[in-house]
Structure 1
Amino acid sequence: MKQLFIIVALLISVATTAQTNYEKGMQKAFELWGENKPEEAANMFERIASAEPDNWLPPYWAAQINIVTSFGEQDKDKLAAKLKKGQDLLNDATAISKNNPEIMVMQALLHTAWIASDGATYGITLSPKVVELYAKAEVLAPENPRVVASKAEWNIGSAQYFGQDTAPFCKDLERALELFAKFKPETQFHPKWGKDRVEQLLESCKK
C-alpha cells in the first residue's frame, strides 16, 4: 500500500511539473510578445505546440502573431510567408479543436489580411469566406465578444467601402463591449483580446 501511495505521489508530481513547464513556457511567450519580440514569441509558441500536440492554444497564438504582423507588411514575399505560416498553424489548431469559434475568427482575420494586402486579387474569392466564417462562429458562440466584435468590424469596413450606413454595426460593437465586461476565459491562456480594439472603433463611430 505504501508503494502505491509513492507511485501516485510520483505521478502527481510529474503531472504538476509538466503543467508548470507549459505554464512557464506560455507566460514567457506572452512576455516576449509584450516586449515587442513577436518572432521570438511565435517561435516559442510553436515549440510549446510541438510539446503539447493536443492543445490548440499554442498554434492559435503563434498563428495570431503571424497574421497580426502581416498587416501593413510591404514586402510581398514576407507577407506571403507570414500568412502561409499562419495558415499552417491554424490548420494545426483546427485539427485539434474542430468547430472552434475562436479559431474561426482568426481564420477570418487571416483572410482579411490577404484582402487588405490586395483587394483586387483576393476580395472576390475571400470576402464570402469571411462572411461565412463569422456567420458560423456566431451560431456556435453568439455571446463570444470576439465573434461579435470581429464580425461588426468586418461589416463596418464593408459598409464604408460600399458607401453604406455603419450605424447598425456600431450598435453591434456596443453589444460586444457589454459582452467583454461579462466574459471570463476558460484559462489564463485562452483568448481574451479585443476589448481595446472595440473601444477604439466606438470612438470612430462617434465621429
Structure 2
Amino acid sequence: MTKIITFIAVLVCGLVSAQTNYEIGMAKGFELWSQGNNSEASATFERIASAEPNEWLPNYYVALINALSSFGTQDKEEIKALLDKAQNALDIELKNDSQNAELLVVQGLIYTGWIVADPMTNGMRYSGMATGIYAKASKIAPENPRVMFSKAEFEMGSAKYFGQDTAPICEQIAKSIPLFENFKPATPFHPNWGLDRAKEVSAECK
C-alpha cells in the first residue's frame, strides 16, 4: 500500500514554480507526504480544504493519506482515529459529487481498512460495501486505472481468503498497467498514483 505514493517526490520537483497560495500549499502537502510526514501532510491539506472549500482535492488527500496510514499500524484506537478522519474528509466531497470515481476508490480503501483491522468483526459488513462501491466506480469510470486496479486488488484479497482462482483477477491487474502508463491527470495535483503498486501485484501473480 505505501508504495502508491512514490510518485510524489517527482511531482514536487515539478511544482517548485507554483505561484498561488493554493498551489504552494498543495506542493507543501505533497512534499511532507513524500517525506513520510503523514500527520503533517494531512494537517496541511486540511488547512487548504478549509481555505478552499470549492476544491475537492485537499479533502481527497486528507482521506487518502489517513486511509493508507491505517494499514501501517495494528493499534485499534489509532486505526479508528485514522479511518474516522479519512471518512469525515471524504464525506464532505462525496456530498458535493457522489459520482467522482476517484473519491469512490478512496471510499473502497477506507472500507478495506476496517476489514484489515478486524476481519472477524468487520469482514462481512464492509466486504459487501467495498464490493458495491468499486462496482459503482467501475460503471462511472471503467478505464480509470485506479478504479480497475483497486477493484481487482480488493477482489484478489477476497479470492485468496476464500481459496478461489485468482487468474481472472490477475488479468485485470495486468490490464490496468497500460492504463496507468497512459493516464494524464488534469493537473499536477490530480490523482496519478498506483502504477508501482499495480506492477508489484502483477509480478506476484506471475
1:98, distance to aligned residue in structure 2 (A): 2.4
Aligned to 1:12: none
For normalisation by structure 1, the TM-score amounts to 0.89
Amino acid aligned to 1:193: W
Partner of 2:11: none
2:72 aligned counterpart, secondary structure: coil
Alignment of 1:72-91 (within 5 A): 72-91=72-91
How many pairs were matched up? 189
Please give the alpha-carbon distance, in whole angstroms, between the structure 2 residues aligned to 1:150 and 1:142: 12
Gaps of 5+ in 2: 1-18
Q: What is the percentage of aligned positions where both structures have the same residue?
A: 51
Runs of 4+ residues over 2 Å off in structure 1: 95-98
Alignment pair present for 1:132 and 2:125? no
Indicate the structure whose relative CO is greater, using CA pairs within 8 Å and at least 6 residues apart.
Answer: 2
**Separation in 1, partners of 2:56, 2:94:** 7
Q: Distance in 2 between matches of 1:148 and 1:116?
A: 20
1:97 maps to which residue? 97
Match of 1:152 in 2: 152
* Distance (Å, rounded) in 2 between the aligned partners of 1:35 and 1:180: 23
Secondary structure at the aligned position of 1:45 is classed as helix
Which residue is 1:187 aligned to? 187
The Cα shift of 1:78 comes to 1.1
Match of 1:16 in 2: none
After superposition, what is the alpha-carbon deviation per residue over 1:57-83, rounded to whole angstroms, capped at 9, x for unaligned? 000101111111111312211111111
Aligned counterpart, 2:33: 33
Q: How far apart in 1 are the matches of 2:25 and 2:96?
A: 20
Q: Residue 54 of structure 1 contacts residue 96 of structure 1 at CA under 8 Å; is this kept in 2?
A: no
User: What TM-score, normalized to structure 2?
Assistant: 0.89
One-letter identity of the residue aligned with 1:74: Q
Give the superposition deviation at 1:51.
Answer: 0.7
Q: Which structure's CA Rg is the greater one?
A: 1
Measured in 1, the distance between the counterparts of 2:98 and 2:170 equals 30
Q: Could you tell me which amino acid in structure 2 is paired with residue 132 of structure 1? A: G
Residue 109 of structure 1 and its aligned partner are, at CA, apart by 0.4
